[in-house]
Structure 1
Amino acid sequence: MVGLPGSGKTTVAKQIAAERRILRLTPDEWMAPLFQDGEADGRRDILEGRMIWTAHEVLRSGASVVLDFGCWASEERYAIRSIAETAGAAFELRYLSLAEPERRARASLRWREGPESTFPMTDMDHDRFLALFQPPTADELADTPLPPAPAGFESWQQWASERWPTLPRLDLK
């Protein structure tokens, strides 16, 4: 799932998981109970790393999983796709986007209606999110071949292990 808060990622991820009877991993649903904080001083990266490892193990077992992370950078999306493909799984990227006023309103509504599943966001937070977010490129959406790993990395898996510090080197056999 790719998109900013309030774009509908979790709603669509829940629908996909229910329709396909598959595992859904959503960091926000774990962050609030574990840390009472959305960022939690880097703990989100730790949690996401373990979720990606779990997803890899699920895929290796022959089952399916949907990651509801947001994946704001193309490198994150390419790394996760590489991990899925090396586990023998198909990768499907879902990008959700809304007009900015509606997206912000939906994020606020989600906080009011279900504060246990999200975190309060100020206009400054939303502005920062917009500045950081990289929408998927046409190549990503068209599922073209993976580009080479970023400079200095021998593979996307190595890049992923740096990005998500608790993601161990995966058994890619």
Structure 2
Amino acid sequence: MAVERPRLVLVCGLPGAGKTTLARRLAQELSAVRLCPDEWMVDLGFDRFDGDARDRVEARLWIHAQELLTRGAVVIMENGFWDRAERDEMRLLARSLGAAVELRYLDVPSSELHRRVGLRNKEPGAAVISPELLAECEAAIEVPGAAELELFDAPFAEGPAVTPR
């Protein structure tokens, strides 16, 4: 029986892009461990917009992901990964552990993001994201280009057909 190589899947996209929906589907398909900072923030009683707490949670989840990768697991991280430098760091560190690394970028048109976030804002307990905040997020993301995607083992983008959560 062949042993599969450990794999790290980075799910990249803006609020409302469908990151959690995709990560949940992939976790089932790949028998993977899914690490979602938003869920950990809520479960630990942190405000989802508390930047310091988010940094600590994401750092701890990354340590956990590395431990899992050294044991041969498939790990899905759905941090959003807006910064190229962060994606590069994760790719290189995971590769140093012998893992394959995928980047799944969800490319969703702005109008659809705004529609989805507007619907999600109405859900009980939702972390409300204003149209202004979403516009700030859109301006802040470093969208992965073709040259960057080529650096990953299974690069591809997912379009607006991804079902929102």
TM-score, normalised relative to structure 2: 0.80
Q: Following the alignment from structure 1 to structure 2, what is the Cα–Cα distance between the partners of residues 13 and 144? A: 17
Aligned counterpart, 1:133: 141
- Give the counterpart letter for 2:85 in structure 1: E
1:25 aligns with 2:35: yes
Gapped runs of 5+ residues in structure 2?
1-10, 154-165
1:58 aligns with 2:50: no
- Give the counterpart letter for 1:47 in structure 2: V
SS of residue in 1 equivalent to 2:105: coil
Mapping 1:113-152, distance limit 5 Å: 113=123, 115=125, 119-143=127-151
- Equivalent of 2:45 in 32, 35, 48: 35
SS of residue in 2 equivalent to 1:95: strand
TM-score, normalised relative to structure 1: 0.77
- Equivalent of 2:88 in 61, 72, 78: 78
Aligned counterpart, 1:69: 79
Matched positions, count = 143
RMSD of aligned C-alpha atoms? Answer: 1.7
SS of residue in 2 equivalent to 1:91: strand
Aligned counterpart, 1:101: 111
1:14 aligns with 2:16: no
Q: Following the alignment from structure 1 to structure 2, what is the Cα–Cα distance between the partners of residues 128 and 144? A: 27
Runs of 4+ in 1 over 6 A off after TM superposition: none
Deviation at 1:140, TM superposition (A): 1.4
Gapped runs of 5+ residues in structure 1?
146-173
- Percent identity over the alignment is 38
- Give the counterpart letter for 2:133 in structure 1: D
Going by fraction, where is helix more abundant, 1 or 2?
Answer: 1
